[in-house]
Structure 1
Amino acid sequence: MAPKSKEKPKTSQPPPAIEDLFTTLDRHINRSEYEQAVKLADQVLSIAPADEDAIRCKVVALVKDDKIDDALSVIHSFHKLPIDLGFQKAYCLYRQNKLEEAIACLRGRERDSETSLLEAQILYRLGKTDACVDVYKTLKDSEIETVDVNFVAGLVSAGKASQVKGALESWRIKPTSSFELAFNTACSLIENGNYADAEQLLLTARRIGQETHG
């Protein structure tokens, strides 16, 4: 009787390299495939549990997928690691309308354009229009591609409608760039008593709104 042949030992498939996972992860985020991005980030974290880039990618993917509660949960779960997720936390709290908590997260942070824009948005929602306008004025035209509509609305609310035209000109931005910007600029013209131009801009805003929303 022939001896039984020994079974060949099963070889386990080696895990993919982290670099390859990140390449795929980045591709998923660029394609707005956020669920897949989260899964890839988790795969990286299963290999390197404290990988800062993977944690950040996971938070960003969850935020872009409008899963704000999940993003905050991830941020809290890694709070003991020396990773600065203060801006991301502030943004999530802002999205949850926890404005005082959000502004507290930004205190003491280094001011870049991204942080300043978020701070201005939070201040506007808090009704602190003067402070909101002051933050916008610290931004240089090279730091933002388009003015946030809250800036114009903030100027109007703060009784500074006369400054809207100059601000838009300094940033080389047309008031007809969007429905919201056209509408808020028209409001500033009304405040300045320029009713004819305001009427034309309101008509333009309505047309932009109709084109945008079909």
Structure 2
Amino acid sequence: MKLRLVISPRRAPLGDLSRNHLQGLLDELPGRLPSYNRKQLLDDLCFLLRSPLFLYAISPRLRHATNPLRVDGLIKAEDINIYALNMMIVRDDNSWATQVLYGGTSLIEGRQYITTEQAGYAQSFYWFCDEVRFLSCEFHARELAAAEALGTAVSMQPAVVKPVQVDLRQTRARAAAQKQRRIVKLRIRYHMIHGRPVLTKELR
């Protein structure tokens, strides 16, 4: 009996697929674009396409796109067909628009109004980058606020010392005897990795 070993190719992580596809879309845009932070733009776009809150906000557009998502319940990043995403700069009446589209439906747009066909082309891309940066900051802040409300977030201020009231009562009898509380200072040190805080030192 002969045995044949079949090695399946490793699938790239979802984040890598999204980034590679978006890089290809940027490369396909016409020239004469204004200077921009390419890495920041890709970081922001990838974050938005993985953000549960952003996906919830644009879910009506995703469900009514040319190739609609037929998903029951909340849409997750894994539900999106990466290859249905497109990016283009189009002339629309008397304005230029730079858009990220899903199945022909615009998800994010930067537009320069009341301009000639020769002018405003690059400016629409500038507004697009500005809009993506704004949305990334907005939804990142919303996710942090939601995490704080659930008690799972770490303060974004580095090396902040805050007085925390800690009740040292071990038993009701001891509490009645002492009738006092102590103030304990905690110091948290962390650094940022991919926009998220990571502890670098144990609490003392």
Normalising by the smaller structure, the TM-score range is: under 0.3
With normalisation by structure 1, the TM-score equals 0.24
What TM-score does the superposition give when structure 2 sets the normalisation length? 0.25
- Give 1 or 2: higher strand fraction: 2
